[in-house]
């Protein structure tokens, strides 16, 4: 059992990935017949960790390659522009409600040939300070839940226009430590969840003219074993995600450039009401047709992200974007905006999120990224 403040933090955290209707309806009645959001373990793996893509509505699978490419699509490593680059990103998470949660991301790559590169990245999610109490309202322990992933990636260009990539990651999710939970009929011990996953991606880019470049990309991320948090060995799916997208860049003149990006995302896990005891691979294939509402409900599970990025002389960028999730599947909707600066080898990006509805915990969410590029 948790203190009231702990429940509030947990509800706010869940709200950030679904909607108020899902969280509070489920919290009071145990279910909601109108909202059928797809839920998984470790949902932070679906959040844009870097400021550039965050400013574009969480779109990035086909965006031009940079140090944060391994998160979005390892295939882009086949076309990275410099010999080496490192990026550090930070976001105070749910800062409008709590003051001790944060998301950090460190990522970098090194070319191993003219057409390939290796990457290494670390994602760290700090959920802040919690206090566990027993059934008699007596403190058990203070605890600081955390989640992190360590990822390796490799991308190889197979031609001047096309590349493929693969990534592998270790996932650690420690939400309750090793607390003993006792009930009237059973008792068990919580434990950290550990598992591994892989990503596979493709990337295509081509100059359609002297002024227009088209990029198309697809990536399936977090294909991995289910994760367990108790000694009862009940396991949850990871957020295996299919992302496809495009980016169209217009070079208006020698100094001004516009890029339009659009991503579509679908979780490749069982829909609400479907069999959750199936294997990961079976869940991936069945996720295209297991929704009780048929094809129309399957389409509701597709989230859209899009935005526009403007660059002046490759020195200053302005960005704006929008994220849309169907109201029947969680209802997250928000605008985003941001800026970027480049000077010699250094880069700085910032993003700000603007939710559609008042009182959303995601309000006043900032992300910052600092990059160092080495030729």
Q: Look at residue 270 and tell me whether its pLDDT is greater than 60.
A: yes
pLDDT in tens, 215-257: 999 999 999 999 988 877 688 999 999 999 999 999 999 999 9
Task: Give the pairing of strands 84-92 and 102-113.
Answer: antiparallel
* Closest alpha carbon to 101 in 110, 91, 111, 109: 91
Architecture of domain 36-374: Beta Barrel (2.40)
Q: Look at residue 293 and tell me whether its pLDDT is greater than 90.
A: no
Res. 20 pLDDT band, cuts 50 70 90: very low
The Cα–Cα gap between 319 and 338 comes to 5
Q: Where are the domains of the chain?
A: 36-374
Task: Strands of 83-161 (E only): list them.
Answer: 84-92, 102-113, 116-126, 130-133, 139-143, 146-157
What is this structure's pTM?
0.88
pLDDT computed for residue 26 by the predictor: 39
pLDDT computed for residue 1 by the predictor: 36
The Cα–Cα gap between 107 and 119 comes to 7
Stronger pLDDT, 294 or 201, i.e. the higher one:
201
DSSP assignment letter at 327: G
φ/ψ of 81, rounded to 5, equals -85, -20
* Closest alpha carbon to 132 in 165, 177, 72: 177
> Which of these ranges, 14-23, 49-58, 153-162, 263-272, has the smallest mean pLDDT?
14-23
Q: Look at residue 25 and tell me whether its pLDDT is greater than 60.
A: no
- Residue pair 153/163 in contact (Cβ under 8 Å)? The answer is no
* Closest alpha carbon to 16 in 355, 272, 338: 355
If you average pLDDT over residues 202-209, what whole number do you get? 97
pLDDT computed for residue 144 by the predictor: 84
pLDDT computed for residue 78 by the predictor: 97
pLDDT computed for residue 6 by the predictor: 44
Res. 27 pLDDT band, cuts 50 70 90: very low
- Residue pair 323/305 in contact (Cβ under 8 Å)? The answer is yes
Report the chain's mean pLDDT, rounded to a whole number: 87
């Amino acid at each position: 059992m948790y203190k009231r403040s702990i429940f509030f933090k947990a509800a706010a955290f869940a709200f950030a990935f679904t909607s108020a209707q899902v969280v509070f309806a489920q919290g009071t009645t145990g279910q909601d017949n109108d909202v059928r959001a797809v839920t998984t373990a470790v949902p932070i793996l679906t959040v844009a960790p870097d400021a550039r893509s965050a400013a574009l509505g969480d779109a990035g699978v086909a965006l031009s390659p940079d140090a944060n490419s391994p998160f979005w699509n390892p295939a882009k490593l086949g076309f990275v522009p410099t010999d080496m680059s490192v990026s550090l990103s930070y976001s105070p998470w749910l800062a409008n409600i709590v003051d001790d949660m944060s998301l950090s991301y460190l990522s970098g790559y090194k070319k191993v040939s003219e057409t390939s590169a290796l990457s290494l990245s670390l994602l760290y999610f700090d959920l802040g300070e919690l206090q566990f109490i027993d059934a008699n309202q007596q403190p058990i322990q203070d605890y600081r839940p955390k989640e992190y992933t360590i990822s390796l990636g490799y991308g190889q260009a197979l031609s001047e226009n096309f590349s493929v990539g693969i990534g592998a990651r270790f996932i650690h999710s420690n939400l309750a430590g090793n607390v003993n939970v006792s009930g009237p009929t059973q008792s068990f011990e919580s434990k950290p969840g550990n598992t591994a996953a892989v990503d596979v991606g493709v990337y295509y880019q081509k100059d359609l003219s002297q002024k227009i470049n088209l990029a198309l990309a697809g990536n399936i991320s977090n294909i991995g074993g289910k994760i367990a948090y108790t000694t009862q060995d009940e396991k949850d799916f990871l957020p295996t995600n299919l992302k496809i997208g495009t980016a169209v860049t217009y070079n208006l003149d020698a100094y001004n450039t516009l890029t339009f990006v659009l991503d579509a995302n679908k979780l490749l896990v069982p829909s609400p009401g479907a069999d959750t005891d199936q294997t990961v691979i079976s869940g991936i294939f069945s996720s295209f047709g297991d929704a009780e509402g048929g094809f129309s409900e399957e389409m509701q599970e597709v989230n859209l992200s899009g935005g526009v990025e403007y660059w002046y002389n490759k020195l200053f960028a302005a960005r704006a974007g929008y994220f849309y999730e169907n109201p029947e599947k969680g209802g997250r909707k928000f605008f985003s905006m941001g800026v970027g600066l480049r000077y010699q080898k250094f880069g700085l990006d910032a993003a700000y999120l603007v939710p559609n509805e008042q009182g959303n915990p995601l309000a006043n969410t900032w992300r910052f990224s600092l990059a160092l590029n080495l030729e």
